[in-house]
């Protein structure tokens, strides 16, 4: 996620002014007025977000996934365990925390795979993706407003969930694709 | 992207009230009060979005990508061609339109691969992902507020861009992973 000297890039958009619109529990919203490369001005609607973590957690060759209702989509989805960063929280610690809270498994070892933006056209959100293949029993501890169930699925089941539309978010599709690659090549590569 | 009878799911959150916060050019924002499965109420911050398209476009075995500045991330990123749906626009038509506008290539044939949500925790956005391996020359026509350059890259270059952090958004990481799979198995599978 490099970004040095971005202000010298020919497409850089300098902020002329920034109008705060909303400051919520999870996100905030602002509208920036920017100077375009051609000298004109334009507005950019920007959702601020603290960042999130997601974990590819393998148990006996199966992927841990959680099923939950997503209000923004009015749909129940099956996703890899994920959650937003607490203020000041290290992403690695957040990944360990979210994994145990949502699945009841603790990672004996875990490593960072990739970080990626989710909606670069309007959102600041970056997801830090981790992988672990060494788990031990921990304790499920859901947030009081969180309702979900966890299961461990094989690749065939993951592909069936994709075909049924139960798995239909970018990070989980990416996880399944990386997993298929891992089975073909022996490597976790993003 | 199924969703029938979701109101009967044990984790369903019924909307008690919905407060509009902002109505912009690209997104709008609302805060919903919902009834949780345990009977309590909670608020959900929801970004409304018309949906978007993205295209895996292969030319002579190379992937077409565009480089552009992303204000929400204050960073220049390399991504597959993408853009939001116009009101009432068919996603397939939007995919053809965005591909030609951003890259100057027209798809002689194109097919839908997957649709996925990008940020299910707070955003309604769904990206419809298409693939084409048959291109012909068209015409670049950028929006007046759009500045980008296009190139065709091999898999080695894509992997180098990932390592450098120039490719760092979910849809493009997914595209590269699907491409690697395609080379290994002969199939485009999500």
Question: What pLDDT digit, counting tens, does each position of B160-179 carry?
Answer: 999 999 999 999 999 999 99
Chain A nearest-CA residue for B73: A124
Give the confidence band of A143 by pLDDT, cuts at 50, 70, 90.
confident
Q: Which of B29, B74, B114 sits opposite A3 (nearest CB)?
A: B74
Residue A1 within any structural domain of the chain: no
Residue B190 within any structural domain of the chain: no
Give the confidence band of B1 by pLDDT, cuts at 50, 70, 90.
very low
- pLDDT tens column, A102-120: 999 999 999 999 999 999 9
Q: Which of residues 113-132 of A touch B (CB under 8 A)?
A: 114-127
pLDDT for position A106? 97
Residue A104 within any structural domain of the chain: yes
For residues B69 and B23, state if they share a domain: no
For residues B65 and B135, state if they share a domain: yes
Distances in Å between the Cα of B165 and the Cα atoms of A4, A6, B82, B160, B172 are 11, 13, 19, 9, 12
Q: Specify burial of residue B169 (Cβ count, 10 A radius: 0-12, 13-18, 19+).
A: buried
> How is B18-67 classified by DSSP, letter by letter?
EEEEEE-SS-EEEEEEEE-TTS-EEEEEEEE---EEEEEEEETTEEEEEE
Residue A12 within any structural domain of the chain: yes
Return d(Cα A21, Cα A18) in angstroms, integer.
10
Q: Does A61 touch chain B (CB under 8 A)?
A: no
Return d(Cα A129, Cα A42) in angstroms, integer.
33
| pLDDT, chain B, mean | 95
Is A133 catalytic? The answer is no
Return d(Cα B5, Cα B7) in angstroms, integer.
5
Instruction: Return the residue matching tokens 């391996």.
Output: B133
Q: What is the domain-level CATH number for residue A73? A: 3.90.79.10
pLDDT of residue A3 exceeding 90: no
pLDDT of residue B67 exceeding 60: yes
User: In sequence order, which residues have a C-beta less than 8 Å from that of residue B1 and are 6 or more positions away?
Assistant: A75, A165, A168, B115, B126
- pLDDT tens column, B126-153: 999 999 999 999 988 888 888 999 999 9
pLDDT of residue B2 exceeding 70: no
**Of A40, A136, A139, A144, catalytic:** A144
* Bridge partners of residue B42, in order along the sequence: B34
Residue B1 within any structural domain of the chain: no
pLDDT of residue A189 exceeding 90: no
For chain A, the domain total comes to 2
* Bridge partners of residue A123, in order along the sequence: A47
Q: Does B150 touch chain A (CB under 8 A)?
A: no
For residues B116 and B23, state if they share a domain: no
Interface test with B, best of A24, A31, A122, A142 (most B CBs within 10 A): A122
For residues A63 and A154, state if they share a domain: yes
What the block records as the tokens of B128 is 């419809």
For residues A122 and A78, state if they share a domain: yes
Residue B75 within any structural domain of the chain: yes
Shortest CA gap B157–chain A (Å): 13
ipTM field = 0.96
Which among A150, A129, A174 is positioned nearest to B172, based on CA atoms? A174
E-strand spans in chain B? 14-23, 28-35, 41-48, 52-59, 62-70, 75-79, 82-84, 105-117, 126-137, 148-153
For residues A38 and A75, state if they share a domain: no
For residues A130 and A175, state if they share a domain: yes
User: In sequence order, which residues have a C-beta less than 8 Å from that of residue A146 and are 6 or more positions away?
Assistant: A68, A102
Interface test with B, best of A67, A113, A119 (most B CBs within 10 A): A119
Lowest-confidence segment of A156-160, B3-7, B143-147 by average pLDDT: B3-7
For residues B42 and B64, state if they share a domain: no
For residues A33 and A119, state if they share a domain: no
Return d(Cα B127, Cα A170) in angstroms, integer.
9
pLDDT for position A190? 66
Domain that holds residue B23: 6-48
Of B33, B48, B63, which residue is a domain's last?
B48
pLDDT of residue A2 exceeding 80: no
Q: Does A43 touch chain B (CB under 8 A)?
A: yes
Q: Are B99 and B82 in contact (CB under 8 A)?
A: no
For residues A92 and A19, state if they share a domain: no
Residue A180 within any structural domain of the chain: yes
For residues B37 and B65, state if they share a domain: no
For residues A79 and A11, state if they share a domain: no
Chain B nearest-CA residue for A80: B120
pLDDT for position A1? 44
Residue A135 within any structural domain of the chain: yes
Angle, helix A170-185 to helix A155-164, in steps of 10 degrees = 150
């Amino acid at each position: 996620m490099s970004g040095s000297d971005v202000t010298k890039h020919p497409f850089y958009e300098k902020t002329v002014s920034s109008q705060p619109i909303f400051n919520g529990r999870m996100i905030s919203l602002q509208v920036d007025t920017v100077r375009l490369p051609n000298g004109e001005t334009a507005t950019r609607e920007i959702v601020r977000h603290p960042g999130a973590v997601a974990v590819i957690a393998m148990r006996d060759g199966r992927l841990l996934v959680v099923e939950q209702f997503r209000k923004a989509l009015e749909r129940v989805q099956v996703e890899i365990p994920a959650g937003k960063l607490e203020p000041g929280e290290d992403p690695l610690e957040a990944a360990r925390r979210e994994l145990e809270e949502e699945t009841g498994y603790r990672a004996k070892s875990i490593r960072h795979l990739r970080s990626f933006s989710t909606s670069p056209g309007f959102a600041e959100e970056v997801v830090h993706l981790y992988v672990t293949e060494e788990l031990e029993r921990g304790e499920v501890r859901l947030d009081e407003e969180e309702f979900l169930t966890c299961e461990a699925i094989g690749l065939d089941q993951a592909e069936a969930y994709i075909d049924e539309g139960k798995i239909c978010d970018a990070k989980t599709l990416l996880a399944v694709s990386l997993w298929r690659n891992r089975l073909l090549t022996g490597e976790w590569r993003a």
